Amino acid sequence: MAQNVTNVAQTEEVTSTRRVIAASSVGTLIEWYDFYIFGTLAKIISEQFFPKDNPTAALLATLATFAAGFVIRPFGALFFGRLGDLIGRKYTFLVTLVIMGGSTFAIGLVPGFKVIGFAAPAIVFALRLLQGLALGGEYGGAATYVAEHSPEGKRGFWTSFIQTTATLGLFLALGVILIVRQTLGIEVFNDWGWRIPFILSVFLVGISIFIRMKMSESPLFAKMKKEGKTSANPLAESFQKKDNLKMVLVALLGATAGQGVVWYTGQFYALSFLQNACNIEFVQSNMIISIALLIGTPFFIVFGSLSDKIGRKWIMMLGMLVAVIAYRPIYTVMYSEANLKLKEEIVEKTEKKEKFEVKGADSLITAVTTKEFTDGTKYKETVKKKFPVDPEKKAAMPKDKLKPETKKEVTLPQDLFYKMIGLVLIQVIFVTMVYGPIAAFLVEIFPTRIRYTSMSLPYHIGNGVFGGLVPLISTRLVEFTRPAPGAPPADPLFGLWYPIIIAAICFVIGTLYISNKTNNLDTE
Amino acid sequence: MSVIKRIFGLVWAAMGLGIIPLVIMRAMQEIAEKPTEENWIFWSIVIVVLMPIISFSLITFGIFALKGEYNTLAN
């Protein structure tokens, strides 16, 4: 009889914990989805909302907006973290979900630059900041909430489900974009179809809010509140007290900064590298990333669970170390497998087509060259030249406006496609090693009364600022190696030095100053 | 181990300090050579956002380490 009662109690506890994890994870996944559709559609957004006169400036402006989304995250961490430590975890991360869903939905409705001029980029910029702010408050809340429900000795395992959400959110974003694009066709998608993934968010967020409304407050926080032990000023307590500030710094420099750059290199930079340095065709490059993410995602749980048994530190440190060592060799292989100069062309299969059109006052010449290679690789180059029909107007135009627009698309054969998936998958495994145990690590080093505030800031500076700036800084580093404007870069892998150096420093600091011991959560 | 942690503390603090003139000089040089919008945006993000975070955290962390605050491992 007593045994039966114990079994029922255990089953109820497991069901309740599963419910907590599911409700927290679904909301966080949707927040990541919302955040990443913007980044994934950066190119289209730049065309829609930023002046087209200078495409590079437009793209950079979008990247800056993208970075702004990341840079604002620490402020969201402070604002919502404080709120979470004052009024509770449940209501705080419910608010962040509403803000994220609302701003994502609104981005899908903003008229383009052609319709409302400079108001368009200004509104999009403001909404992007709101997204960053909301995300800054979400993750710490979800991780803290799940950790405070988790049984001792299982915290790494339970919180690792929250850790899968960032990757699954990116996977969902890529999946939805690919499906909508394939269904509507490229032209319609580029025209207005890109809005659908943003608008879709409102339904996903609605479901998540409904689920979260039914959840109860974290037991540790509820107990503290009942006993009147909550912090009166979590910000001051977190960052003005030396003992806690020490932990914030070691968490940032010894763990989250390295984790951030490894995360963004293995997922975002890999996609950008496939598309821009290797010129892999849009659908194929997204498929490579999506499949690698899907296969790699369970490893978050594997490493989270393993960290309960052998400690958090060495799994994270090993992840950083292997990333530092392996990035250059991995990207060298990725680049060479797509490098057409290393392939043998089947000359008789080369085709060239040219089309001349008059569109209003402009002439448009479209030249399409297709090539095939002995290993099965296919290449398509589309060059579009647009100039005024009137020769006088043409002669008066600045040279850079007459520059043709070139689009290169490489489609890999099946064996190389799988090889690319394997190479990205290795990077995703590094991501799972550094990211799987980090939520449990962060919640355990800070006390309950200021946990939400204290863990959110180093996480979002590491992940958002150090990691979020990987595309911007790495792209820029590659530009340094370009001998002349328009010439190919001398070292297309030069951008990797940013994540390599940050992860290497983080590895040394983490190894020297972080303990491998796992802690129980206090209620003081 | 404690001695190594303290010595490295000096390295982190020096690194945090050293980054400031290095980044500012590089930014000034690049912007003077090519005062484009892209350059301004890029270096503004680096100088206003990234550099202060790296410098402040490394210097403060380095000083703590130098004083032996991390002699007991962080856990």
Tell me: the pLDDT tens digits for A92-142?
Answer: 988 998 998 999 999 999 998 888 887 888 888 888 889 889 988 888 888
Q: What is the pLDDT of residues A394-403, one digit of tens each?
A: 777 776 667 7
Residues in chain B: 75
Token couple for A474:
């790495």
A443 touches B: beta carbon within 8 Å: no
Q: Least CB-CB distance to A60: which of B38, B57, B73?
A: B38
Element (H, E) at A75: helix A73-86
* Chain A residue numbers touching B60 (CB-CB < 8 A): 245, 249
End-to-end alpha carbon distance in chain A: 36
Contact B74 A472 (CB under 8 A): no
Shortest alpha-carbon distance between residue B48 and chain A (Å): 11
* Chain A residue numbers touching B12 (CB-CB < 8 A): 253, 509
Q: Which of A313, A502, A508, A513 to mutate to test the interface with B (most CBs of B within 10 A)?
A: A513
CB atoms within 10 A of CB A88: 21
Helix, strand, or coil (residue A500): helix
All residues at 6 or more sequence positions from A241 whose CB lies less than 8 Å from its CB, including other chains: none
- Check residue A280 and report its DSSP letter: B
Q: What is the pLDDT of residue A413?
A: 97
Token couple for A489:
């870069």
B42 touches A: beta carbon within 8 Å: yes
Chain B 46-75, residues with CB within 8 Å of chain A CB atoms: 46, 49-50, 53, 57-58, 60-61, 64-65, 69-70, 73-75
Contact A472 B42 (CB under 8 A): yes
Helix, strand, or coil (residue A176): helix
Q: What is the pLDDT of residue A263?
A: 94
Question: Interior CA angle at B34 toward B30 and B36, to 5°?
Answer: 110
* Chain B residue numbers touching A472 (CB-CB < 8 A): 42, 45
* Chain A residue numbers touching B4 (CB-CB < 8 A): 512
How large a percentage of chain A has pLDDT more than 90? 48
* Closest residue, chain A, to B44 (C-alpha): A64
C-alpha span between A19 and A13 (Å, rounded): 10
C-alpha span between A148 and A432 (Å, rounded): 22
Residues in chain A: 524
Select from A474, A472, A406 the least CA-distant residue to A59.
Answer: A472
pLDDT confidence band for A273 (50 / 70 / 90):
very high
C-alpha span between A339 and A484 (Å, rounded): 21
From residue A114, alpha-carbon distances to A44, A50, A196, A455 in Å are: 14, 9, 19, 43
B13 touches A: beta carbon within 8 Å: no
All residues at 6 or more sequence positions from A271 whose CB lies less than 8 Å from its CB, including other chains: A285, A286, A289
Q: Least CB-CB distance to A252: which of B45, B57, B65?
A: B57
Residue ranges of alpha helices (H) inside A108-256 are 113-116, 119-149, 155-184, 186-188, 195-213, 219-226, 234-239, 242-251
> 């590659």: which residue's tokens?
A478
From residue A45, alpha-carbon distances to A125, A195, A469 in Å are: 11, 10, 18
* Chain B residue numbers touching A514 (CB-CB < 8 A): 73-75
- Check residue A402 and report its DSSP letter: G
pLDDT confidence band for A406 (50 / 70 / 90):
confident
Domain residue ranges of chain A, discontinuous segments joined by +: 12-341+414-513, 347-411
Which range of A166-180, A375-389, A414-428 scores highest in mean pLDDT? It is A414-428
C-alpha span between A294 and A312 (Å, rounded): 24
ipTM above 0.90, yes or no: yes
Let me know: does A176 contact A286? Beta carbons within 8 Å: no
B6 touches A: beta carbon within 8 Å: no
C-alpha span between B20 and A139 (Å, rounded): 31
Token couple for A449:
């009364």
Q: What is the pLDDT of residue A310?
A: 94
Let me know: does A436 contact A301? Beta carbons within 8 Å: yes
* Chain B residue numbers touching A54 (CB-CB < 8 A): 37
Catalogue the long-range contacts made by A108-112 (C-beta closer than 8 Å, 24 or more residues apart): A108/A195, A108/A196, A108/A197, A108/A198, A108/A199, A108/A201, A109/A195, A109/A198, A109/A199, A110/A49, A112/A48, A112/A49
Q: What is the pLDDT of residue A324?
A: 98
C-alpha span between A156 and B15 (Å, rounded): 33
Residue ranges of alpha helices (H) inside A216-367 are 219-226, 234-239, 242-251, 257-264, 270-272, 282-296, 298-310, 313-338
Architecture of domain A12-341+414-513: Up-down Bundle (1.20)
Mean pLDDT over B1-30 rounds to 94
**Which residue type sits at A310?**
I
Contact A253 B4 (CB under 8 A): no
C-alpha span between A164 and A513 (Å, rounded): 27
Q: What is the pLDDT of residue A400?
A: 66
Contact B42 A245 (CB under 8 A): no
* HEC secondary structure over A361-400: CEEEEEEEEEEEECCCCEEEEEEEEEEECCHHHHHHCCHH
Mean pLDDT over A69-87 rounds to 89
Q: What is the pLDDT of residue A362?
A: 82
C-alpha span between A105 and A37 (Å, rounded): 11
Q: What is the pLDDT of residue A7?
A: 59
Q: Which residue has the higher pLDDT, A434 or A485?
A: A434
B40 touches A: beta carbon within 8 Å: no
C-alpha span between A252 and A94 (Å, rounded): 26
Q: How many A×B Cβ pairs under 8 Å?
A: 74
Question: Interior CA angle at A236 toward A225 and A75, to 5°?
Answer: 95
Q: What is the pLDDT of residue A160?
A: 94
Token couple for A151:
């049984």
Mean pLDDT over A266-288 rounds to 91
Q: Which of A465, A512, A514 to mutate to test the interface with B (most CBs of B within 10 A)?
A: A512
All residues at 6 or more sequence positions from A149 whose CB lies less than 8 Å from its CB, including other chains: A16, A17, A20, A21, A158, A218, A219
**Helix-strand-coil percent breakdown of chain B, rounded to 5?**
85, 0, 15
Which range of A66-75, A208-217, A249-258, A394-403 scores highest in mean pLDDT? It is A249-258
All residues at 6 or more sequence positions from A98 whose CB lies less than 8 Å from its CB, including other chains: A205, A209
* Chain A residue numbers touching B49 (CB-CB < 8 A): 67, 71, 465, 469
Contact B50 A465 (CB under 8 A): yes
